[in-house]
Amino acid sequence: MGIDATPGIAMSHLPATTTRIATLLASALAFFSTDARAGGAEKNEIVIGRKFSIESAILQEKREYIVYLPAPYHDRLYAKVRYPVMYLLDGEEYFNAAAGLVHFMSEANSQIPQQIVVAVVNTNRTRDLTPTPSNIDISGKVNAAFGTTGGGDRFLQFLERELIPKIEADYRTAPHRTLVGHSFGGLTVLHSLLTQPGLYQGLIAIDSSLWWQDQFMVKRVKQGPVDVPDRGTRVFMALGDHRTTGEYDGSSMIVTNMRFAELLQGRKLQGLDVTLRHFAGEDHGTVPLPALYNGLLYVFDGYKVGDEFALKDNTAELVAHFRKISERLGYEVLPPEQLVDRFGQGAYGFLHDAKLAMEYAMLNVANYSTSSHALSSLASLELATGEMQRARVHLGEALRLNPDNEEARSALESLQQKR
């Protein structure tokens, strides 16, 4: 870690969220399928990601990264769609928690879009996650552990020119990237904000070590221009509690983060939204998880699809909601197929509204014409409402798209027997 810090000061803050985060993670751990993400795992294994490596010409070394994919990614029943990507620094430390959190927020609760997580594993952390050479730590003393520093620009180039193109070639990615880092990682996230405008649309900088080299990054924001792309960028900065006296004085951590945020906010740059939040009761080591949860909500502000949508008597508001989200995120975001499917099931099973259920099914077919599941779901409703011929056509199409759709095969065989 860049620094050690412990609780101490009182300041304007949000309520601590550790209890809620612990609860949601406990729930999230139950979700992972056995082999959908790993592609060949044993039936009794729980696999949440795969580790890969890439030879970096920029860094002159092999770099490892871990990939989490949303549950539907390899499911042939559903249409193939593209996903935003989160790039996570200190990947070996935070991957498990981040993957569970993303699942809980996206697939279980529809608070954020389903997304791919790419966790970057460290080799030389202080070299890669510092913007300038320095051997002075937060206390102002020479630190032998900081013997190799200042490689931040090359590391960010590695992400931009080598890792991101690799991920976008290998996976179905949407044009939205989020960069997440803690401590020195947070420093690197903000370094990217200033040097790579537009590369990331979301930046989550957690307890960032902005004290680095006599507040180098703060001075840079104060004295130099800040470029902002036409497309919006949202920056979430988080602070934990820090002592302000004694051996582990974290005053500079607090002051520099507050000053950095104030300077950016004071510029009033169109297309750049910046917020700083303090998490009371969380120290430098525990703040990453609640900060990531709230940071993702901030980056994808307005996305959340509450249960109230399921109680509407038509799909118009849901469609309008995602049209608005598309405008804010800068690319087309459709109502997720699984979400619409769930709403349709609720309309038929709980509201006993076959017409509304059919409207949800037709929405999925319109948005996901290559989905075997969407067609077989529509056919199921047609069977229930006596539209046998239409059901037969849609079941046949569902099987053409995916011959392994056993639900469609069974329904079609049953229909043929009744002819």
For the segment 76-108, what is each residue's pLDDT rounded down to a tens digit? Answer: 889 999 999 999 999 999 999 999 999 999 998
- Distance CA(218)–CA(278), nearest Å, equals 19
What pLDDT, on the 0 to 100 scale, is given for residue 37? 39
Q: Which residues of the chain have pLDDT under 70?
A: 1-43, 230, 245-250, 419
Residue 256 and residue 210 in contact, taking contact as beta carbons nearer than 8 Å: yes
H or E stretch including 61? strand 61-68
- Distance CA(399)–CA(115), nearest Å, equals 28
What is the pTM (predicted TM-score) of this model?
0.88
For the segment 161-202, what is each residue's pLDDT rounded down to a tens digit? Answer: 999 999 999 999 999 999 999 999 999 999 999 999 999 999
What pLDDT, on the 0 to 100 scale, is given for residue 269? 87
Instruction: Annotate 392-407 with DSSP letters as a single string.
Output: HHHHHHHHHH-TT-HH
Pick from 140, 124, 267: nearest CA to 215: 140
**b/e sequence 94-131, b meaning 16+ C-beta within 10 Å:** bbbbbbbbbbbbbbeebbbbbbbbbbbbbeebbbbbbb
What pLDDT, on the 0 to 100 scale, is given for residue 208? 97
Residue type for 115, please? Q
What pLDDT, on the 0 to 100 scale, is given for residue 20? 43
Q: Can you tell me whether residue 235 is helix, strand or coil?
A: strand
Pick from 251, 216, 222, 237: nearest CA to 138: 251
Q: Name residue, tokens 């620009």.
A: 153
Expressed in angstroms, the distance from the first to the final Cα of the chain is 70
State the SS3 of 162-211.
Answer: HHHHHHHHHCCEEEEEEEEEECHHHHHHHHHHHHCCCCCCEEEEECCCCC
The domains found in the chain, sorted by start residue, are 18-299 (3.40.50.1820), 313-418 (1.25.40.10)
**Beta-ladder partners of 320:** none
**Beta-ladder partners of 65:** 52, 120
- Distance CA(364)–CA(361), nearest Å, equals 5
What pLDDT, on the 0 to 100 scale, is given for residue 267? 87
Residue 146 and residue 134 in contact, taking contact as beta carbons nearer than 8 Å: yes
